[in-house]
């Protein structure tokens, strides 16, 4: 007892606070965990499973919010790097491997900057305008189908899909929520108490509203063909070979959609709302700190959304371009059914987990150890360990790709989407900016008639085909 009291006397004030708390956590934590597991857990699970819709919605929203920021970071980094390469420069290469952490650090910088509000600004509107812009961008993620649904083991049918909420009016929701961005831009421009901001807001509103019309009209033909506005439904209809993609049935629609989407996402050559190298940054002139960061992020989230939408509507969504099953059937093989059920291995699983890393690491290290006598064993083992990790990752990815349809779909979806992000960045590295009157003239005199023509041709073709 004397030892304890002496130790207590030796402790600092902070220690006298922290150590009892630590004991409390160490003792109380396990007890609480067990209690939750025994009594609260089942009850909570019951409540959650009886409200599956709400749970699904909250999970989807959280996932979408968590996904949008890294996506924006990746696209910002991609833009810096790709345009630099196209200008024969190296681009960011100081932070992280090949400068990969550059945009993250830039985001942190934005967070630490002073958040300045003009003296006569409408503070409430000024504060909430970036939130509206960002939220409308993020909310459109909700209906994007990232992958095909799970196959129900009982009925053998696809259920749901990797989509936040598979609405039957998904496309309409997409355009409606996307159109709300204009409200945010106008609010941002108006509340800044700056005539240039107001003009910038009006300018971007004029542009976005004008391009909204050909954008929406260009997919009406596709909706007629697909017979549904659910994005998951449209994705399902493009299954099989890449010839099933809607781009081959709606080439004009795809072109108009691409151009209008470029203007909608405020990308070069239609980035007149900001035109950062020429005029004041439009509605964002008075914004600084993280509020500007939100506007900035929303722009790049929009780029991803537009790419994902083009992929979904016209380029087969999560479908692989090649129908591997058809090829296998042609050769005479049945597609392998790999059920990823590690539990079926029983005690063998434990042996595998225990032995595979050690054995494979040694196996991979052996040639490196033997090839060069001056290389110490630990270096060879390190190389072997890295190689083993790459190998294991490759094997697991392959297994997941074969075994899980949604995983394969996710991979194809991201490949295609980022290909279109690359095209947007590529265009930014190439094209000069369009003049404002040319911009509006192009929307109203060319894109709108072309979209109407596309709709007319599609409708005529459907009527003719049905009457045959």
Partner 1 sequence: MSFIPGIGLVRGMGLTLRRFFQPKATIKWPEEKADVAPKFRGRLQLLYDEYGTLKCETCFQCAQACPIECIDMGGVDTKGRFHVHWGPPETYGERREESALRRSGRPVADTAYAHFEGIDIAPLDAILDAHDYDPKELLAILEETQAEYGYLPVAALKHISRITGAWYAQIYGTATYYRHLRFEPPAVEAVAPAGQAQIAAEDGFRSALDAALGYGGRAN
> Which x/- pattern over 342-361 shows residues binding partner 1 (rule: CB under 8 A)?
--------------------
List the one residue out of 303, 234, 292, 321 whose CA is nearest residue 265.
303
Sign, CA torsion 118/122/124/129? negative
- Identity of the residue, 138 or 260, whose beta carbon is nearer to partner 1 in the bound complex: 260
Q: What DSSP character marks residue 443?
A: I
Tell the smallest beta-carbon distance from residue 255 to partner 1 (Å). Answer: 10
Radius of gyration of the chain (CA): 28
Please say whether the beta carbons of 148 and 135 come within 8 A.
Answer: no
- Identity of the residue, 268 or 273, whose beta carbon is nearer to partner 1 in the bound complex: 268
Among 67, 193, 385, 431, binds partner 1 (CB under 8 A): 431
Tell the smallest beta-carbon distance from residue 256 to partner 1 (Å). Answer: 13
Residues in contact with 305: Cβ distance below 8 Å, sequence separation at least 6, in sequence order: 137, 140, 141, 144, 178, 265
Among 350, 426, 435, 460, binds partner 1 (CB under 8 A): 426
Tell the smallest beta-carbon distance from residue 435 to partner 1 (Å). Answer: 16
In angstroms, the CA 237 to CA 312 distance is: 11
Question: Which of these ranges, 123-131, 165-173, 225-233, 425-433, lies near partner 1 under the rule CB under 8 A?
Answer: 425-433
In angstroms, the CA 248 to CA 240 distance is: 14
CA 320 to chain centre: 19
Tell the smallest beta-carbon distance from residue 422 to partner 1 (Å). Answer: 10
Tell the smallest beta-carbon distance from residue 449 to partner 1 (Å). Answer: 15
- Identity of the residue, 416 or 428, whose beta carbon is nearer to partner 1 in the bound complex: 428
Number of residues in contact with partner 1, rule: CB under 8 A?
A: 13
- Identity of the residue, 7 or 87, whose beta carbon is nearer to partner 1 in the bound complex: 87
- Identity of the residue, 86 or 402, whose beta carbon is nearer to partner 1 in the bound complex: 86
> Which x/- pattern over 378-417 shows residues binding partner 1 (rule: CB under 8 A)?
----------------------------------------
Q: What does residue 159 show for φ and ψ, rounded to 5 degrees?
A: -120, 140
In angstroms, the CA 22 to CA 15 distance is: 10
Residues in contact with 343: Cβ distance below 8 Å, sequence separation at least 6, in sequence order: 349
Question: Which of these ranges, 127-135, 227-235, 275-283, 422-430, lies near partner 1 under the rule CB under 8 A?
Answer: 422-430
Among 430, 441, 449, 453, binds partner 1 (CB under 8 A): 430
Tell the smallest beta-carbon distance from residue 88 to partner 1 (Å). Answer: 5
List the one residue out of 277, 278, 275, 296 whose CA is nearest residue 287.
296
- Cβ atoms within 10 Å, residue 272: 23
Please say whether the beta carbons of 188 and 133 come within 8 A.
Answer: yes
Among 61, 427, 459, 461, binds partner 1 (CB under 8 A): 427
Tell the smallest beta-carbon distance from residue 87 to partner 1 (Å). Answer: 7
- Identity of the residue, 87 or 120, whose beta carbon is nearer to partner 1 in the bound complex: 87
Tell the smallest beta-carbon distance from residue 70 to partner 1 (Å). Answer: 24
Tell the smallest beta-carbon distance from residue 391 to partner 1 (Å). Answer: 30
CA dihedral 211, 216, 218, 222 (to 10 degrees): 160
What is the residue-wise DSSP string for 364-416? HHHHHHHH-TTS-HHHHHHHHHHHHHHHHHHHHHHHHHHH-HHHHHHHHHHHH
What is the residue-wise DSSP string for 265-306? TT-TTS-TTT-TTTS--GGGTT--HHHHHHHHHHHHHHHHHH
- Say whether residue 317 binds partner 1 (CB under 8 A): no
- Identity of the residue, 57 or 431, whose beta carbon is nearer to partner 1 in the bound complex: 431
Tell the smallest beta-carbon distance from residue 451 to partner 1 (Å). Answer: 17
Tell the smallest beta-carbon distance from residue 302 to partner 1 (Å). Answer: 22
- Identity of the residue, 89 or 195, whose beta carbon is nearer to partner 1 in the bound complex: 89
Site for partner 1 in 75-104 (CB under 8 A): 82, 85-90, 93
In angstroms, the CA 213 to CA 211 distance is: 5
Whether the bond into 391 is cis, omega within 30 of 0: no
Tell the smallest beta-carbon distance from residue 220 to partner 1 (Å). Answer: 24
In angstroms, the CA 162 to CA 317 distance is: 12
- Identity of the residue, 342 or 441, whose beta carbon is nearer to partner 1 in the bound complex: 441
Question: Which of these ranges, 146-154, 378-386, 394-402, 429-437, lies near partner 1 under the rule CB under 8 A?
Answer: 429-437
Question: Which of these ranges, 9-17, 53-61, 211-219, 423-431, lies near partner 1 under the rule CB under 8 A?
Answer: 423-431
Residues at the site binding partner 1, with contacts judged by CB under 8 A? 82, 85-90, 93, 426-427, 429-431
């Amino acid at each position: 007892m004397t030892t304890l009291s002496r130790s207590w006397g030796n402790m600092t004030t902070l220690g006298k606070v922290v150590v009892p708390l630590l004991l409390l956590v160490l003792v109380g934590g396990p007890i609480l965990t067990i209690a939750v597991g025994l009594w609260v857990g089942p009850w909570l699970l019951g409540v959650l499973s009886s409200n599956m819709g709400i749970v699904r919605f909250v999970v989807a929203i959280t996932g979408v919010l968590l996904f949008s920021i890294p996506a924006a970071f990746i696209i910002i980094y991609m833009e810096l790097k790709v345009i630099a390469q196209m200008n024969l420069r190296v681009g960011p290469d100081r932070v992280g491997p090949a400068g990969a952490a550059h945009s993250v650090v830039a985001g942190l910088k934005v967070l630490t900057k002073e958040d300045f509000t003009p003296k006569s600004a409408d503070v409430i509107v000024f504060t909430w305008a970036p939130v509206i812009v960002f939220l409308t961008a993020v909310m459109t993620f909700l209906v994007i189908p990232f992958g095909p649904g799970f196959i129900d083991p009982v009925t053998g049918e696809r259920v749901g899909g990797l989509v936040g909420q598979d609405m039957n009016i998904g496309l309409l929701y997409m355009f409606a929520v996307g159109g709300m961005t204009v409200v945010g831009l106008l609010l941002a421009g108006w509340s800044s108490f700056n005539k240039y901001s107001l003009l910038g807001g009006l300018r971007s509103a004029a542009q976005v509203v004008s391009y909204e019309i050909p954008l929406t009209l260009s997919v009406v033909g596709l909706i007629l063909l697909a017979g549904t506005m659910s994005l998951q439904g449209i994705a399902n209809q493009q299954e099989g070979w890449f010839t099933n993609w809607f781009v081959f049935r709606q080439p004009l629609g795809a072109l108009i959609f691409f151009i209008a989407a470029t203007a909608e996402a405020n990308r070069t050559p239609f980035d007149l709302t900001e035109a950062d190298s020429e005029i004041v940054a439009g509605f964002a002139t008075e914004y600084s700190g993280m509020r500007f960061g939100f506007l900035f992020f929303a722009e790049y989230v929009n780029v991803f959304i537009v790419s994902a939408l083009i992929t979904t509507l016209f380029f087969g969504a999560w479908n692989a371009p090649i129908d591997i099953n058809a090829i296998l059937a042609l050769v005479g093989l049945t597609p392998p059914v790999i059920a990823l059920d590690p539990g079926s291995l029983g005690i063998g699983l434990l042996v595998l987990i225990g032995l595979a890393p050690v054995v494979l690491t040694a196996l991979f290290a052996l040639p490196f150890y033997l090839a060069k006598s001056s290389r110490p064993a630990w270096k060879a083992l390190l190389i072997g360990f890295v190689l083993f990790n790459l190998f294991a990752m490759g094997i697991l990815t392959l297994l997941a790709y074969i075994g899980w349809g949604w995983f394969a779909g996710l991979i194809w979806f991201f490949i295609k989407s980022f290909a279109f992000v690359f095209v947007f960045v590529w265009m930014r590295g190439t094209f000069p900016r369009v003049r404002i009157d040319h911009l509006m003239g192009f929307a109203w005199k060319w894109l709108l008639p072309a979209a109407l023509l596309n709709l007319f041709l599609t409708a005529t073709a459907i009527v003719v085909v049905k009457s045959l």
